[in-house]
Structure 1
Amino acid sequence: MRESMYSALFGAMSNELRLDTISNNLANVNTTGFKKDSYAFHDTFQRFAHDYLTDDRTNIRGKEIWPKAYVMARPRLSGQYSDQAQGSMQVTGNPLDLALVGKGYFKVRTPEGDMLTRSGSFRLADDGRLVTEQGYDVLGDGGSTVTLPRDNKIVVDGTGRISADGVQVGALDLTDVSDPKALEKVGQNTFRIKKGSNATEVPAQGLSVQQGYLEKSNVEIVTEMVNMMEAQRAFEISQKIMTTTDGMESLVINKVGQIS
């Protein structure tokens, strides 16, 4: 099979993944605290056995036995990660809406374990627990559930300390990650460190909490739409290359061996 068929096939597969990623980003443009997915490319190489022949002793042979190394570059998607860039601020005036400015995360407790999130759209449960939109407990004071009195004026300062009618009742657990690219999305707008990664949780530096605000998604609609059109065109080109290559091979198969 011609190399053009393989190159076009993997090119189409790469752009299919790009389109899936872009579509997911656009679908979450209005999701609070959502972090868009990004991707990276690298060149993979196909080498033949004679490419590794390193015997250059001139007394064995007087000229090169093999042709020069034939290296073929094929760009592929090498990785996908969440872009943790800051999103814009949206004023809500709700005292339980909290936005993070800087690098860091809230900690929440889910059925799958403790997770990280940038979404600060919180509410009070019937028993006074501070929970996320999904009902996950917001953690504070070193891993405890945050419980607030009802019908009190709640104030959250820039460091995450919580006061009710002027009396401090707790402090939010705020943390950061040594390598943000090691985070993986779990669902429901939460993250965790990938298994096997060397990344660890570290104290958040320069992080501040803004009460009465929400951090919007960091997806830029115009940029994503341009990327989508580019990926669609690249996918169509790959399809055309495969169709053309198939036609050329069929022509060769049908013509070779015929006697005019």
Structure 2
Amino acid sequence: MQQILALGLKSMRDDTLRLDYVAANLANAMTPGYKREVTVGVTVPLVNPQFSAMVDGLHAGSSSSAIANSLPPFSPSMLVQADVSVGTLKSTGRGLDLALAGPGYFEVLTEAGPAYTRQGDFRIDGRGRLVTAAGQLVMGQGGEIRLNAAEPVIDAAGNVFESQGAAAAFTDGGSGKALGTGMHPADAQPVARLKVVQFDDPKAIQRQGGGLVQGAGVPTQMKDADIQVRQGYLENSNVSAMQEMVQMIQTMRHFESMQKVAISYDDMTGQAVRKLGDLA
């Protein structure tokens, strides 16, 4: 009979964890490139479970391919994954703002090693290197990217041009209006190419803070044909405030229902104990 109470308490704990992720999504609704986190139900085997083990089980945040190996027997029955759908693109008119209109991540170099981001509000530091807003190096396929021009031109495949000829070819008669991504003269040579990578399991990412993530396994460099860089744009967060509020209301109602189950079961157990005492 303790299993009933354990399941109720376990479900309530899952709900509190789910609310934490909803709150994090809402807090990052305006963060460029942010991918919302969603919780997915997982079937957990319950074979003669111990009450303490069910209540004290650890939370699993592993990828779907590793559930069987990493999910403790009595852990919360949910899996946390990233929603990798692409957010809408917002035009900024700033040449160093870059967005990915498809899958993938920009690779950057941090003090702890390579990390990955879709938050493309880049800039040029005092040494002429392309860096993130926090100062981490934005990596190209040949290493760090050094630029002499303050307004480079970047095509859809991530090729970086900085010559005057290339810049002129990208604009409409000197008006400053970009003709579009992927257009460059045949004789223009890129000075660098952005390193855009992808993960085998894009949903299994771990947040590092500051818009940076790490993925499961070794990332692979994307093919040029699959890269969709948009210069002068930033990707909006894919969080829908209304959707998160609905999720919050549903979770709170479920928590209240499980709370009533636990209280009712506790009352029933108390009455049973009292009756047994009277019979004794």
Same fold (TM over 0.5): yes
Shift of residue 255, structure 1, vs aligned partner: 2.7
Task: Tell me the residue number matched to 1:149.
Answer: 148
> Is the 8 Å Cα contact of residues 2 and 245 (structure 1) preserved in structure 2?
no
The answer as to 2:193 corresponding to 1:193 is: no
Shift of residue 120, structure 1, vs aligned partner: 0.6
> Is the 8 Å Cα contact of residues 96 and 151 (structure 2) preserved in structure 1?
no
**Residues of 2 paired with 1:48 and 1:129: CA distance?**
60
Greater fraction of residues in strand = 1
Q: Which residues in structure 2 correspond to 1:124-143 (within 5 Å)?
A: 124-142=124-142
Task: Tell me the residue number matched to 1:100.
Answer: 100
Shift of residue 182, structure 1, vs aligned partner: 3.3
Q: Aligned residues: percent identity?
A: 33
How many residues align structurally? 231
Shift of residue 75, structure 1, vs aligned partner: 10
Task: Tell me the residue number matched to 2:25.
Answer: 25
| Residue type at the aligned position of 1:120 | G
The answer as to 2:195 corresponding to 1:173 is: yes
- Residue 46 of structure 1 aligns to a residue whose secondary structure is coil
**Residues of 1 paired with 2:81 and 2:46: CA distance?**
26
Task: Tell me the residue number matched to 2:123.
Answer: 123
> Is the 8 Å Cα contact of residues 196 and 221 (structure 2) preserved in structure 1?
no
TM superposition score normalised by structure 1: 0.82
Task: Tell me the residue number matched to 2:64.
Answer: none
TM superposition score normalised by structure 2: 0.76
Q: Tell which structure's C-alpha radius of gyration is larger.
A: 1
**Structure 1 residue runs without a partner (length 5+):** 50-73
**Residues of 2 paired with 1:97 and 1:106: CA distance?**
12
RMSD: 2.2
After superposition, the C-alpha distances for 1:166-218 in whole angstroms (9 at most, x for unaligned) are 36322111122222123222221112123xx4x64242452211110000101
> Which 10-residue stretch deviates more, 200-209 or 226-235?
200-209
Greater fraction of residues in helix = 2
**Structure 2 residue runs without a partner (length 5+):** 50-73, 167-187
| Residue type at the aligned position of 1:82 | A
> Which 10-residue stretch deviates more, 178-187 or 83-92?
178-187
Task: Tell me the residue number matched to 1:40.
Answer: 40
Compared with structure 1, are the counterparts of its residues 211 and 200 closer, same or farther at alpha carbon in structure 2 (3 Å cutoff)? Answer: closer
**Residues of 2 paired with 1:18 and 1:175: CA distance?**
30
